[in-house]
Structure 1
Amino acid sequence: MSAEARWLTMTEERAWRGLLRMHDLLVNRAGRSMQEGFGLSATDYTVLAELTRAPDDRLRIQELAQLLGWEKSRVSHHLARMVKRGLVAREECADDRRGAFVVVTPAGRSAITAAAPRHVEDVRRYFLDHLTPGQVTLLAEIADLVIEKNEEEH
């Protein structure tokens, strides 16, 4: 690390702070909509969405943590709350006694099936409808690149 900090330019700071503010705004709005309409937090919805994309609606807990970009302890704590509410269940892994799977329950499947149309509507209303198709494509490319480069370093 160099002795002198590479301070952000005004435009770089605006981009960074704007990204953080936009993320918080969108997550809060979409989360509030999910909570009010379906009793799901934004985090619940994200977990259920990842699980329902997986074969047989199940993933190892470590795989889920990787997909979400969360520490394993955060995933475990959140899953414990979801288990209590009947949205997911833990299953032992027959091949590896140390590992466990998390699987969507019928109640969890029902919850995400009911919530998904509103979620898509919210994504459009709060985010996509304000952008041109070219901006959406550019943002997707930027996100892919930043994620890829950061995963390479990690």
Structure 2
Amino acid sequence: MEQERLNERETRAWIGFQRMRIEVNEVLARRLARDFGLTEADFVVLLRLSRIPEHRQRARDMATALHWERSRLSRQISRMETRGTVKRAPSEGDARGYDIVMTDAGLAAFDAAWPAWVEGIRHCFADVLSPEQLDALIGITEAIDNHFNAQHRLGGLSGPDEADGTCTEGGMAESAR
């Protein structure tokens, strides 16, 4: 069976997207580690908790929101507990699960790193693009996100062979953004 190929435009766009994502994330992650002793995964968890009242979220909901397997989240939370930035607490109303709670040390670490994170995003990303390019990128990311939510979210279709524009019973999980 002959394999389909991407055309030149599709190839350049895909490679450019991957390179841009890797390069920007690499700069941001290096700065988090060097200046604040945080991994990118630490920061992502703390960012998520910083935006939630009481800085507390059920573990399974966080795993879903971050698109992480529960085992990955569990290992990450164990590492962060060791450093004192988060703790596990019983989930209210469900003894089977647990909540992830940001500690005062976690909030302090996040608050210290946040301005540098924003500055890094501006320096490596936002300030490099014109307002028109940012608007175009917003449109691109929304189109891909809409496709993902309709076709690939838990309960949705799993791949291009099933992609006929419908979603299976059970629907889509709520977007975490």
Instruction: Pick one of 34, 37, 53 that aligns with 1:36.
Output: 34
CA deviation map 1:37-94 (0-9, x unaligned) = 1101111111100111012111111111122111111111111101111010111113
After superposition, the Cα gap between the structure-2 partners of 1:151 and 1:4, relative to the gap in structure 1 and judged at 3 Å, is farther
Which residue does 1:20 correspond to in 2? 18
Which residue does 1:53 correspond to in 2? 51
Structure having the higher helix fraction is: 1
The yes-or-no answer on 1:99 pairing with 2:97 is: yes
Which residue does 1:90 correspond to in 2? 88
Q: CA deviation at 1:5?
A: 4.0
Structure-2-length-normalised TM-score: 0.82
Matched letter for residue 7 of structure 1: R
Q: How does 1:129-140 map to 2 (within 5 A)?
A: 129-140=127-138
Instruction: Pick one of 112, 115, 127 that aligns with 1:114.
Output: 112
Q: Which has the higher contact order (CA 8 A, sep 6+)?
A: 1
Deviates more, 1:76-85 or 1:62-71: 62-71
Count of residues paired in the alignment: 152
Structure 2 residue runs of 5 or longer lacking an equivalent are 153-177
Superposition misfits of 4+ residues, deviation over 3 angstroms: 3-6
Structure 1 residue runs of 5 or longer lacking an equivalent are none
